[in-house]
Each structure stands twice: as C-alpha cells, then as structure tokens.
Amino acid sequence: MKRRKFIHQSLLTAGGVALGASKLHAFSPQEIIFGFGSKRYRLNEQWSKADVSRNPVNDCHEMVQDKKGRILLLTNETRNNVLIYDKSGKLLDSWGHDFPGAHGLTLFNEGGDDVLFICDNKRHQVIKTTIDGRVLMTLDYPKETGQYTTPDEYIPTETAIAANGDIFVVDGYGKDFVIQYDSKGNYILHFGGRGEEEKHLRNAHGICIDQRKGKPELIVTSREQNAFKRYSMQGEFIGTIAMPGAWVCRPVIKGDFLYAAVLQSNNRLWQQSGFVTILNKDHQVISNLAGSEPQYQNGVLQEMYQTIKAFSYPHDVCIDDDECMYLAQWNSGKVYPYKLEPVA
C-alpha cells in the first residue's frame, strides 16, 4: 500500500478525526466521523425541520420507519405524541394528545397495513393504533399473570410483535416481566421478572425478535445489568449478551446487525454519558458511535464508555431503508432527533 493512501485510510478508520485530503487540509476544518470499522457515520444534528413553536417535543423516546418510508417519532409531549417526517427531516404530519407517558413505539405490518403499539408508562397500558392514530386495542395491566394487584405496578416500556401477531410486552419500569398475548390481546404466558438467576431481568427496557439465524428468538434488554438476554419464543432462557459499562436501550435489528442506543455509561452515571452501540449477528460489538473502541480480551468484551460528548441520553435508534440512523434522546434539552449517515 502506498504511504499516502495508508495515511489517509488510517485517519479515516481511526473512529476519531478524518482530515480533508485536499491541499487546504492545514486550514480546513476537520470532520468528525463517529464509529469504527464498517459502521461509521457522519452526524447531522439539524435533520428535523419541525417548527419548535408548533410541534415541540419533550423526551424523544422511540422511532420507527413505516412502509411508505416515513420516519415516526414518539414523544411524551401531548401536543403531538407522534411526529411523522420524511427522510429529509421535513415534518409531514403529527397526531396524538392522549399519551402522557408515551415510551415504546413498535410498528407491525398486519396483513399489509402498518399498525403501531404504544407503551404508555403513565397510563400503565399498551395501546394498539392505526398508523394515523385510531385506537384499535388497549391492553391493561396483566392481572392474569397473578403477579400484579394494581395497575400502578405495571409500567410497560416496549413491545415486540411476532409474525403470527403475538404481542410480547416488557414491563421494564415495573416488575420486569415479559408478558405474551395473542394478537387479540388474550394472555398466554409470562417469564423473566426480577431475581438472582441469570434468566431474570433488571430494567427490561426493550425487546425485539431476532430472525437473523433462521429460528426466531427474543432479545430482551436488562439495562441496569448492562446486558441483553436471549430467550426462545416460548420464554426459555438461552443466554446473556454482556454489554459491560453500557446502559443499553432496546435492541433494533436491521439486516445482519443489532443497533442500540446506550442511555449512559456506567462509569459516569447521570452525567449525559450516552453513546450508540452496534453488534454483528454473532452478538459481538463491532462499533460504538461516540463510545470507546470495542475490545475483546480472551473473548471477553472490555468495559465500554462514552468518549465523545456528542450525545446526552440516547434512548432509541431507527435504521431506515437507506441504512441511515435516526437517534432519539431522553432528557436532552428537548432536542429533536439527529440523523447519522453511513460513511462508505
């Protein structure tokens, strides 16, 4: 490899600074590239073109892309709980005034129609709606489990919907159970919950269905334990994906990769120390955006932490059909979501 090319590449792959390759490089500003290896991004903080006086946000909790390619944001601002953008950041539509605790947003294609599942942790309910906000079903607290005596004990944070329409709810701010319902909302079973065994959960903040290896399985966040935990679709514990140092939010699978917002680093709690992490399908961390370079020693992932103060408290990521990433943040000065574009 020629020296010049080598230098250029090593600067680009450093995960830190990419220098302009022009003659003017001594004067030109440096562009910050976030991430490592094949997963590196350019950050655009000005993606949202929404007018803050008309369409404010509070906590930006979660984001999904619908079949029309639009980007949906769920916020606990009841002036507009759902903001609908195009990929360029233009606000197309908004709806929703009845979700004071809007937290979890999951999209499911139900026989050709997009439907949404919203977890509201103030209403202690999961609400299924059409893509434009018409309520289709409301799930109250799961007394059928025998684990709850009042609605207040149940603070659902996320849902995942199986191919057959079964609904998996995680009670991530309540008792950390995973509760399975059929598509009509009839209780089937529950598992997880708190305890001392590895199969138990602590702050089961997110859930998704992983189909990357053929047979579907569930990946559930155990945020305070800095881990994801894998279960069969019947709730049998399979194993732990340790994420040392990282308060991971929901797992988001796109293609071969699992992406997750990391609310904060364990070494700097409640100090806006978040970043974004990306794992391959063998559950190995391959990149952290604004976070430490992932390093394995004897197969053990070393502690991860924020390195660049670009994000405050990332809460969710959404990967669109162009492989671009959108980042929603909790308690971060009511900022709109950011967009990150992959660097080739």
Partner 1 sequence: MQLKLLACSLLFMVQSIVAQKVYQLAPPIPKYASVFFQKEIALSFDFKLPGSSIHYTTDGTEPIGSSAVYTKPLSIKKHLTVVKAKSFATGFSPSETVSLQFFAQGYRIASIATSAPNNQYKGNGPTTLTDNQSGGMQHTNPAWLGFDSDSIVVDLSLEKTVSISQVMLHVLVNQGGWIFLPQQAEVYAVKNNMNTLLLTQPFNAADETPSDTKALLLNFSPTTLQQLRIVIHPLASLPDWHAGKGKRAWCFLDEIKIY
User: What's the min distance (Å) between Cβ of 291 and partner 1?
Assistant: 9
Give the separation between CA 316 and CA 64, rounded to whole angstroms.
10
Q: Residues 6 or more apart from 105 whose CB is under 8 A from it?
A: 61, 62, 63, 64, 72, 74, 82, 116, 117, 118, 119, 316
Q: Applying CB under 8 A, which part among 28-36, 107-115, 125-133, 143-151 lies near partner 1?
A: 28-36
Name the helix (H) or strand (E) containing 3.
Answer: helix 3-12
Determine if 29 is a binding residue for partner 1 (CB under 8 A): yes
Q: By CB under 8 A, what part of segment 270-309 binds partner 1?
A: 273, 292-293, 295, 302-303, 305-309
Determine if 9 is a binding residue for partner 1 (CB under 8 A): no
Binding mask 36-75 for partner 1 (x = CB under 8 A): ---------x------------------------------
User: What's the min distance (Å) between Cβ of 21 and partner 1?
Assistant: 13
DSSP character at residue 224: G
User: What's the min distance (Å) between Cβ of 44 and partner 1?
Assistant: 9
Determine if 14 is a binding residue for partner 1 (CB under 8 A): yes
User: What's the min distance (Å) between Cβ of 8 and partner 1?
Assistant: 14
Give the separation between CA 303 and CA 305, rounded to whole angstroms.
7
Instruction: Using CB under 8 A, pick the residue from 6, 9, 21, 28 that binds partner 1.
Output: 28
Contact in structure between 62 and 54 (CB atoms under 8 Å): no
Instruction: Using CB under 8 A, pick the residue from 91, 218, 310, 324 that binds partner 1.
Output: 310
User: What's the min distance (Å) between Cβ of 10 and partner 1?
Assistant: 9
Give the separation between CA 33 and CA 43, rounded to whole angstroms.
8
Nearer to partner 1, 27 or 197 (CB): 27
Nearer to partner 1, 25 or 68 (CB): 25
Phi/psi at 288 (5° precision) = -130, 130
What CA–CA distances, in Å, run from 256 to 265, 280, 284, 328? Answer: 25, 6, 12, 22
Give the separation between CA 120 and CA 103, rounded to whole angstroms.
6
User: What's the min distance (Å) between Cβ of 35 and partner 1?
Assistant: 11
Please, what's the largest Cα pairwise distance for the chain?
70
Instruction: Using CB under 8 A, pick the residue from 8, 32, 143, 183 that binds partner 1.
Output: 32
What CA–CA distances, in Å, run from 101 to 38, 59, 60, 162, 239? Answer: 37, 10, 11, 24, 31
Determine if 31 is a binding residue for partner 1 (CB under 8 A): yes
Q: Which residues bind partner 1 (CB under 8 A)?
A: 11, 14-17, 22, 24, 27-32, 45, 265, 267-268, 273, 292-293, 295, 302-303, 305-310
